Structure 1
Amino acid sequence: MAVIESTHYVYTVQPGDTLYSIANRFGSSVSAIEQANSLYPPFTDPGLIFPGQLLVIPGGRFGFQYEVYYTVSPRDTLFSIAQRFSVSSDLLFGINSQIANPDFISTNQMIRIPAFIYEVTAGDSLSKISSQTGLSLDKIIKANERRASFSPDVLYIGYLLLLPLPASQNILVLRPLPGDIIQEGSFMQGMARAFEANVLYSILDTQGNLVSNEKSITARAGGPEYAEFSTNLQFDLKPSIPTGELRVYTRSANDGSIQDLVRVRVRFE
């Protein structure tokens, strides 16, 4: 998996923008933006961009490592941004504490989005990436709509794809990423809105055998706040096949049923 673990930005081209002005704004470079979005011959004329296109901007001067930020454009709402990345507007609001009112976001405001960056390599296709990550084709395509040089049928080497992170209404899993290799002690991290801050996880192989029995994690705060949780994964059984699934969820206080289940496709060493 060619995942790029550094800060990136998603920006909608506005009238009057040039690659130079965009690069300068985000502390990036014209060449890096061209490579990330395949803005070079024979796919397009050098430097050719249009208002309304979405660009992925590598690097930059804001934020923290491994995060992706979306720059709000004039027509955006929190709901429309949440739809693009296949999450609820509640969750998007919950992971952005700087937003005071979910019904009001301002143009040029930076919003952390539940996505990660995948660099296309030789032999990649959307169906292959979908199979590796367990993310549906529809979700991958929706996240990349209006992207410069994006086509569901043809991927260019070096192109940076936006892939949505696994999430439910109340849980977002940040690590491991879909398709990651995990082992005993691997780091798991996410955010959850959970009753009494209690988050659960288990690990199964693709034959349905439990690699890790259900275990409890305590988030930093209970609902209605979305709060961070993290732990080092524990195995109860050595995996006998190379693929499996991490499940993160809560249980109903009424009947103990599983709620807010998030499935993350993983591999084992």
Structure 2
Amino acid sequence: MSKGGLFLALVLMLAACAPHQSRVPRGAEDWPVNKRVQRLPPAQPLPPPKPQWVAREVTPDAVEVPAQTYVVRPGDTLRRISDRLGASSEAIARANNIPPPFIIRVGERLSIPGGRYHRVKSGETGIAIARAYGVSWSKVVDGNALEEPYVLRVGQKLLLPSARQVAAMSLEDRARAFTIDIGDLITGGEPAAEESAATAPRPATPDQGPVVAPSSFAGTFDWPARGTILSRYGAKPGGRFNDGINIRAAAGSPVRAAADGVIAYAGDTLPGFGNLILIKHGGNWVTAYAHADALLVGRGQIVKRGDVIARAGQTGSVDEPQVHFEIREGRKPLDPLTLLPKSG
């Protein structure tokens, strides 16, 4: 055998005798031997958004009721008197200082307040009713002494400004009547409840009835997004006021629920806020999340703290991706930085 052939045979023999080594992927040289790599399952998205409930169009068919005096008859109740004369039972009770449980006596003389009364129908909202008559929702709230949670009931009669009062409004007042904000959505955006729901609320559904808030609230909030603060709560130049905080966020990054709750609103009704979500948390607490690029939840959907409800974006009147975040107790906005963890 030649020297070249002897050298090749020696190389092949040494290679056959060498111990077998498994191929190690690049970048995995430090993996423990014979130990399986644990991979975390992908984050589970929330269920697809439910269909959005659509507000019913309101026909302005209010009835003019003259101011008068009525003497209570046997078998009368405030509701029966209301049905007979057209004025709302609540207005009659207020005019005559009748407290709950609204007991009246035969022969009692009642003052019946006159005015224009609209009977609430199924699917109507406070905002839609106010717009149908060209007045602001806040004026309807004040005129009827409505209180939280501001849920109207089917068959309820609302006292509205007269046609003469509306005609006398300035152009500025008329424009303001059609301008709504987050507080209006919270208090006037719910569809009227059926009579039975007034005493026994049922679970919320996206296409009927008002959203029912959780019965309790844990009392703490988490940050909805991570980033630097672009704008804090409070007065701003030009007479503006920020009812929350604005957090810089990368476009498409997750926006998370600050606490357990139910989605009360998801849409783009308020142009300046772009895509907006409102969550009811119980105890009269509400959080708002605005300027989203995509909404991942729908009205009536139950969410837990930390659930991804939207993707951050630049919708509405902002010039960079961000999350506008508010915490409200009823209609009243509070400074979120006093209620959020300090390590945000």
Scaled by the length of structure 2, the TM-score of the pair is 0.23
Higher strand share: 1
Scaled by the length of structure 1, the TM-score of the pair is 0.27
